[in-house]
Amino acid sequence: MVLVSGSGSNLQALLDAVAEQGESYGARVVAVGADRTSAGGLERAERAGVPTFVCRVRDHAHRAAWDRALTEATAAYAPDLVISAGFMKIVGEEFLARFGGRIVNTHPALLPSFPGAHGVRDALAYGAKVTGCTVHFVDDGVDTGPVIAQRAVEVLEEDYADEGAALHERIKEVERGLLVDVVGLLARYGYSIEGRKVRLGHE
Ligand code: GRF
């Protein structure tokens, strides 16, 4: 199950991996959820024949009600893993209680550096020479959960010219490959989380 807010290129990479590798990939996308109707990821899902749902904060009286609705909509597909692929909302207590330890997020920076919604811009503003992407499990903080894998991307002088747009594109290219690799490995081999350490494979 994949949650999106944006263009959904990370989702597309997962859909492509499933289409190209079939059963040997180890996972398939059972549904796609979004927090806005404009999320490009919804169309990508529909094109791939994957069911979708939209769960908007503004359609609910308060945040906890939204969280409950998101939890129920997700639970209806009984996913083994929930992939937050550019989902720009912090999930709430109920969602975490239900899916904790099974929610994977992708972030466009090398955590714990530059968490939050502006990981690319913040890395540039800091003057970092190397940044990258992190795939990690979600806990109750913002981008604080156990790291599964990271890949580095060099910051170039010209990245300052367009406020990080080209840098984000280079990060996303790497990020898509990393997410596809991580989801496949978790699905095929299983995993355990011991404190902050993620171990691949069953005991
Ligand atoms: C990714 O870089 C993700 O890490 C960030 O937003 C971007 C989403 O891209 N939070 P897309 O919607 O998958 O194309």
CB 17 within 8 Å of CB 178: no
State how far the Cα of 57 lies from the Cα of 104, in Å rounded to an integer: 21
Question: Is residue 192 over pLDDT 80?
Answer: yes
pTM over cut 0.95: yes
Residue 8 lies in a domain: yes
Q: Which atom of ligand 1 is nearest to the CA of 8?
A: 12
pLDDT tens digits along 138-188: 999 999 999 999 999 999 999 999 989 999 999 999 999 999 999 999 999
The three-state DSSP-derived secondary structure of 77-124 is CCCCCEEECCCCCCCCHHHHHHHCCCEEEEECCCCCCCCCCCHHHHHH
pLDDT tens digits along 48-98: 999 999 999 999 999 999 999 999 999 999 999 999 999 999 999 999 999
Residue 198 lies in a domain: no
- CATH at residue 114: 3.40.50.170
CA of 28 from ligand 1 middle (Å) equals 20
CA of 5 from ligand 1 middle (Å) equals 8
Residue 142 lies in a domain: yes
> Which domain, by its residues, includes 150?
2-193
Residue 203 lies in a domain: no
pLDDT tens digits along 26-44: 999 999 999 999 999 999 9
Q: Is the CB of 118 under 6 A from ligand 1?
A: no
Residue type (1 letter), 11: L
Residue 65 lies in a domain: yes
pLDDT band at residue 8 under the 50/70/90 scheme: very high
Question: Average pLDDT, stretch 118-132?
Answer: 98
Residue positions annotated with a catalytic role: 107
Q: Is the CB of 6 under 6 A from ligand 1?
A: yes
ipTM value for the complex: 0.97
Residue 202 lies in a domain: no
pLDDT band at residue 202 under the 50/70/90 scheme: confident
Question: Whose alpha carbon is nearest atom 4 of ligand 1?
Answer: 107
Q: Is the CB of 104 under 6 A from ligand 1?
A: no
Q: What's the domain count of the chain? A: 1
CA of 156 from ligand 1 middle (Å) equals 20
Residue 106 lies in a domain: yes
Residue 20 lies in a domain: yes
